[in-house]
Amino acid sequence: MCRYSKLELIGGINLLKTTREKINDEVYLNIINGDKFKTELISFYFIMPLNRSEVTKNTLVPLILKRGTKQYNTSMDIERRLEELYGSDLSVSVNKKGEKHIIRFTIEGPREDFVLSNDILKNKLDVLKELIYNPLVIDNKFKEEYVSQEKRNLKDRISSRINDKKQYSTTRCIEEMCKNEPYHIYKYGYIEDLENINSQNLYKHYLDFFKKSRVEINVVSNIEKNEIKNIIKDYFPFDERESKLLKRENVIKKDIEEKTVIEEMDIKQGKLTLGYRTNIPYEDDLYTAFLVGNHILGGGPDSKLFINVREKESLAYYIYSRGYKYKSLMLISAGIEFDKYESALNIIKEQIEAMKKGEFEEKNIEQSKKAMITSMKAVEDDTYSISEFNLSKVLTDNQDIDEIIDSINKVKKEDIINSMNKISLDTVYFLKNQ
């Protein structure tokens, strides 16, 4: 079964036509056709439920795979092959979207009509297949040296999360806010898990992970969709699947008791984060109204938070609000002087109350709509953004860019007021000096 949709390019001159097809149990191929770009991109997303006992191993797997394969024993060998493919780029990443853990493998390089090769797509897929499905294995386990090195690298990465105090405060607020929900799990895992991970049990986990993951394959290319589909089916083994079904996150929380968490660290600027439950699922018609309201509240230099907290009262070095679609949260983040905590907190709460009372103008609504629509159109400017948007689309409400823009344009002031009256403050997190 195929599903067709379209992404209109800026100016409406060309169309990116999207085809989605199930090619095996919980394996989906999304082909995004168009002539806008000189490169083509192929991304494999392996998606599992966020699980505390597996998150660290999940994170290590792509790091090990990128170190070497059966054919290309070292990362240098992989780089040499990419250079032969006209400087194609290979990347991996680990992310979480809602309560889903996502491992991405991507290769991007020139289209065949821009190089002297008729097999450039197949050659790129050869590298991707080699990376994902033919790891360097010695005696039924990953290479010891690679596992030891990547465990140290991951330990350093997890330890270094405190270096970015702004992001650290946001992460800590979410961890406290959702401590009894999978969403609190840190996407890169935990240092205490590393001691019990070895080359043998990690290889076993790798085999299990790829068998049980949901797979989303995104191809952004000008090659005809049936040709791409046949190549993908021929190249990649999706046999013996035991996929785990992905559950929808629980986003409605009643009887919220506001809590305050204060932590100390050797820092020069306080980090204040307020975590709100919006209680509006992304499937709800009010969700787009919330997004517009969130932009009016803290989406830029014309926002209520920026003008009232930073400009008028000089209580913050920076301040903004952000929505988290998959979990229906809203976080307000501010950098403040340590002794301005109470004043900043009170004025931030005042701005929330003002939004609930409708104390904003039509011009604020139009400015926010315009900014949001410009941001949505920018998704179409590069292949990677298109692939990431398509992943978000199939994991959530299945809306195309033109449908999202249409829903933004339809938002009324009363919708914004209604959406803002659904939000509740859950957690106040403050990182201050020792």
Nearest by Cα to 294 from 254, 332, 335? 332
Distance CA(295)–CA(320), nearest Å, equals: 9
Nearest by Cα to 22 from 216, 208, 240? 216
What is the model's pTM?
0.94
Specify whether the CB–CB gap between 238 and 23 falls below 8 A. Answer: yes
pLDDT at 15: 59
Q: Report whether pLDDT(36) > 50.
A: yes
CB count within 10 Å of CB 226 equals: 10
pLDDT at 9: 39
Amino acid at residue number 22: K
Q: Report whether pLDDT(10) > 50.
A: no
pLDDT at 398: 87
pLDDT at 6: 42
Q: Which of 40-49, 104-113, 236-245, 281-290 has the lowest mean pLDDT?
A: 236-245
Express each pLDDT in 243-267 by its tens digit: 888 999 999 998 899 999 999 999 9
The secondary structure of the chain in percent helix, strand, coil, rounded to multiples of 5, reads: 45, 25, 30
Strand partners, 272: 334, 430
Q: Report whether pLDDT(295) > 90.
A: yes
Structural domains of the chain, with CATH: 2-235 (3.30.830.10), 259-433 (3.30.830.10)
Residue 391 banded pLDDT, cuts 50, 70, 90: very high
Express each pLDDT in 106-134 by its tens digit: 999 999 888 877 789 999 999 999 999 99
Question: In this predicted model, which residue has the larger pLDDT, 8 or 173?
Answer: 173
Rounded to the nearest integer, the mean pLDDT of the chain is 94
Read off the pLDDT of each residue in 199-212 and give the average, rounded to a whole number: 96
